[in-house]
Structures are given as structure tokens and as C-alpha cells.
Structure 1
Amino acid sequence: MIPAPRLPVEQRLYVPSSGEASDVELLPAGDVTEGVLRVGGTVRRPHQPQSYAVADYLDWLEDAGFEGSPRFLGRDPSGRDVLTFLPGDCAGAMPEHWVQSEDLLVSVARLVRRLHAVSAGFVPAAHPFPPRPLPVAHEEQDGLVCHLDVTPQNVVVRRGLAVGLVDFDLAGPATGFKDSFNTAMHWVPLRHPGDSWPGWETLDPFRRLRVFADAYGWTEEERRRLPEFGAHATLLSYHRMEHRARNLGGGWARMWAEGAGGRIERRRAWLEANGSRLIRALTD
């Protein structure tokens, strides 16, 4: 049976069912997006300028057979984006002890690798992604649309393994190495020891980085340039977050006021100071 053709994403209207209103849950607020609800088997999110570009991307992932992302259903009568709900566990703002599992770390790397494999060929033609703030001419980009925010809070876990990704608000063109480095930055994590989450101080970031790199499949060249690449990416992140805090306010301003800039600068200094050790851990 041939499935019916989809309406363009901007024409999809989601009609709530009568039973959904009795099953509503306020989901944890992200760093930037608030007011996200689970209603029955759906998630309702505030509509964003990039929502239709993300919806086209989610359609592509569905057609490619990738089961680890939500499906875009349309907009509800209140104008909110409606997506399917992915059941499972996500880490809290302060990641729980179970997030430290190396088996989970391996599964995250493999899930991101699968995402990149099925994303190849997607071209956001009908609804281009909005340009990122402060574009830099020498920033690496090969056109591969990536998630770019694979934090512990945005990974759905079942039976101790990563099975899905949520919150595609920051998705856009980049490179697989950029997205996978960004993922490792959050999951290893790569940060100054003084900024470790409580209970994470004793973990070995060099071992965990090697575990992630092997699971994702970084090349020898990628492993050797990681410290320099990471320090440069962190510098760009600092300037972009500062720009967003000053011009967009909201969650960006709150994170900046809570010291995000200082943490980013300390991460960059840590990457630079430990460059040789990171390369040895990745290549020996």
C-alpha cells in the first residue's frame, strides 16, 4: 500500500483528540525553550523561526527509517508545534549517576553516528535554517544537517542505552565531526575539573573520550586535531552565546548571568593545556 503524500509542513494542522486533555504533563524546561508539554502521546512546543526547517528534517529522518527522532505532526489550534512523544528517560539538569555508564556513552556515540549517516543528502530547500549568529568564514561546514545539541538532557534512554534524540531547536548545517565533538563535550564531559557536576569528579575524561571516539569512529586525523578544533569551537561558542544573551535575552541571558561565559573560557583553557594528553589518549 502506497502511503498518502504528506502536506507541506506549513499546511499541517493537528486536531487534538478528546481524550488528550486529561493526560497532560509539563516537561522540564530546556535552557532556552520553556512551556513544553506532553499531551497524550504528543509533545507541544512553542513555534520557532526554525520550526519548519526542523520539521522538514524530521520528515527526512522518518523516510530514511531513523527511529530515534520525533515526527512532526503539525500545529495545534494554539499555534504550537506538535510532535510525537518518545518514551524513555532523559537526564535532569544535574545528570544522575546512571548517566555515567560507559555502555550508555557508547550507545550515544553510535546513535549520533547513525543520525549523521541517514542525514546525508538532506538539503533544506523549502525552509532553510536561519543563519547562525556571528557567522565565521573559516568555520567548518560541509552541509550535513546535524542535531548540534546532544546533551544528556536531550537523549532518550531505555534499559540503559540511548534510543532517541529530542529538542532539535539548534539543528542546522555543520559537519559530523563538529556535532560529534559537541556531543563528546557534553557526555565525556570535556570541561575544567572545577566545573564538574557533583559526583563526576572522579571520572577519567581521557578514557571516556577514547571510548566515545572509538564508538563513533573518529579518524586518525580527527583525533589528532581535536584539541585545536575544540579550542576554536569553544571560542566561537563563547562569542555566539554572548551575542544571544545580549540580543535575544530569555534563557540565553539567564545562562550568561549564571556564569556560562566563564565555564566556556575555562573549557577552552583546559583543552589547550591538555592537548598533548588528549591526543595520546585518542591515538595510543
Structure 2
Amino acid sequence: MNEQPLAGGHLTDELVRIGSTVRRTRGPHSPFVEELLGYLESVGYPYAPRYRGVDEAGRDIFTYIPGNTSDHPRQRAPDASKLGARMLRQLHDVTTGHALAAGAKCVTHGDAGDNNTLFRNGCPIAFIDWDFAGPGRRIDDVAYMAWSWSIYPVEQVPIPYQAEQVRDVRDGYGYPWADELVHAMVHQQTVLINEESAHLANLALPAARRDQALHAIEWATASRDTVNRHIDVLLSALR
């Protein structure tokens, strides 16, 4: 078999493409992902890879979806944020009340950033990397998407444009959140800072994982500072 290493998978030991499949190191969350993706396939949810079992090397097998990730709005079509939010809304809708939601509002992707979304011709077509999927609240998933798709603390993206992108995520999802969405973004940033600070301090973790934690802390901290510094502009766009 011709194995082609794939970019991404920072928390995964091995991520490769073999033909029309992706093989990934099996982890503690694999049973949940297997069940979730199986359910999503059964209801026809089109924005996720299909789970195809475990290979002879003990790796999870997923269908390969051609596409590219994104790290800047200029790489995306004008309505990409709205389309991505609709994809997320459909995930939440089809899992509301399901046993996998375990009494929570729905199943959330948990990491629906543009780096975990595949795009084709600038339009989102699928979410990948479901390791953080689990029971949760709609607004937390949407807030993470709004933050990671819209807030750029380093790049020279005008703040009014960033605010418009947040609004597009909100409007695409279809809930009339305003203040609560911005506050949920700050909450998600704070949660990530706290979680990754614990990983950074854990000397039992590999150096590469702690280095990744440092970068995540820097990104989330800079993003939170950007949101707090320009909160009036963000709120004005949402009201």
C-alpha cells in the first residue's frame, strides 16, 4: 500500500492517505467518533467523512474527501462563513435528543475551526478531525467557529471585516445571538488557555505536545485581547 502522509493531526501519531481512505492512529475517543460518524451516515449528514473500521495496523479508517483547509478569509468564498455555520447547525439539529448527546443539548464538533474544515473552490464541504466531538451546547460550538474563522489578532484584517465575519457565522447558523455570542467566544478562548496551560506545565507530555500548547495559549490569548479591545465593534455588528 502506498501511504501518503497528511498535514495536520497534531495530536495524532500517524495520519496518512491510502487510496480513497485516510488512516489515523486509534485513540481513547475513537469509539465515540466511530458511533457518531456511523449515525451521521445513517441520517444522510453529508459534511463528515465516513467511518470504515480498523485496518491491520490498528488504525481507524475514514473515507478521503478531496479539499483544502483554510487559515485566512481571503482563501474563502464570500458566503463561506454562512455555509459553514449551516453545516454546523445541521449537525446540532440531527443530534438533538440522540443518546450520543447524553442529556446535553446536542453533539458538538468541539473544534470546528477553518483548519478542521475542508474547502473546495473556497466553499466549505466537510468537517474533519472529530476527536473533540461530544455532548455540549450549540452556542459554544458556534462561538468557537466564529472565533477561529473570524478573529485575526496578527494578520492585517480590518476589525469591521472581522465583525462582519462573526455576524455571517451567526446569521448562517440562524440563532439571534448578539452579546451572548461574543461572551461565549471569550469563554471558549479562556477555556482553551486554561486547558493548554495545564498541558504546558505537564512535563510528562512530549516536548512537541507542550510546544503546541504554548502556541495555542499565545493564539487564544491574542484572540481574546482582540475581542475585548474591539468588543463594541463586534457587538454593533451583531445587534
Q: Is the 8 A contact 2:16 2:22 kept in 1?
A: yes
Taking a change above 3 Å as real, the CA distance of residues 224 and 95 of structure 1, as seen in their structure-2 partners, is: closer
Q: Deviations over 1:127-146 (max 9, x none)?
A: x8xxxxxxxxxxxx934211
- The answer on whether the counterparts of 1:102 and 1:208 sit within 8 Å (CA) in structure 2 is no
Distance 1:95 1:26 in 2: 24
- Percent same amino acid at aligned positions? 26
Task: Please point out which of 196, 216, 230 is paired with 1:241.
Answer: 196
Per the alignment, residue 157 of structure 2 pairs with: 201
Residue 15 of structure 1 aligns with which residue? none
One-letter amino acid matched to 1:152? D
Q: In the alignment, which residue of structure 2 is the partner of 1:32?
A: 11
Alignment match, 1:108 = 84
* Alignment partner, residue 142 of structure 1: 104
Within 5 Å, give how 1:1-284 maps onto structure 2.
21-22=1-2, 24-91=3-70, 95=72, 97-99=74-76, 101-124=77-100, 142-188=104-150, 190-192=151-153, 195-196=154-155, 200-202=156-158, 204-219=161-176, 222-247=177-202, 249-250=205-206, 251-257=208-214, 259-283=215-239
Residues 53/216 of structure 1: CA separation in 2 closer, same or farther (3 Å cut): same
Instruction: Report the Cα distance in structure 1 between the residues aligned to 2:60 and 2:149, rounded to whole angstroms.
Output: 28
Deviation of 1:74 (Å): 1.1
Residues 246/47 of structure 1: CA separation in 2 closer, same or farther (3 Å cut): farther
Structure 2 unmatched runs, 5+: none
TM-score where L is the length of structure 1? 0.75
> Deviation per CA, 1:101-132, whole angstroms, max 9, x where unpaired?
3222221111111111112233239xx8xxxx
Residue 206 of structure 1 aligns to a residue in which SS?
helix
Rounded to whole Å, the distance in 2 between the matches of 1:57 and 1:38 is 22
Q: Which amino acid aligns with 1:35?
A: E
Checking the alignment, whether the CA contact within 8 Å between 1:244 and 1:253 is kept in structure 2 is yes
Equivalent pairs, count? 236
Partners of 2:17 and 2:191 in 1: how far apart? Answer: 34
Letter in 1 for 2:100: P
Question: Secondary structure of the equivalent of 1:124?
Answer: helix
Distance (whole Å) between structure 2 residues aligned to residue 52 and residue 39 of structure 1: 22
Answer with 264-273 or 80-89: which moved more.
Answer: 264-273
| Matched residue type, 2:25 | P
Q: Distance in 2 between matches of 1:95 and 1:230?
A: 18
Pairwise CA RMSD: 2.3
- Cα offset for 1:275? 2.5
Contact (CA 8 Å) 2:93, 2:106: kept in 1 or not? no
Write the deviation string for residues 238-268 of structure 1: whole angstroms up to 9, x where unpaired: 11111233347345412234x4323322322
Q: How far apart in 2 are the matches of 1:29 and 1:207?
A: 28
TM score, norm. by length of structure 2: 0.88
Larger Rg: 1
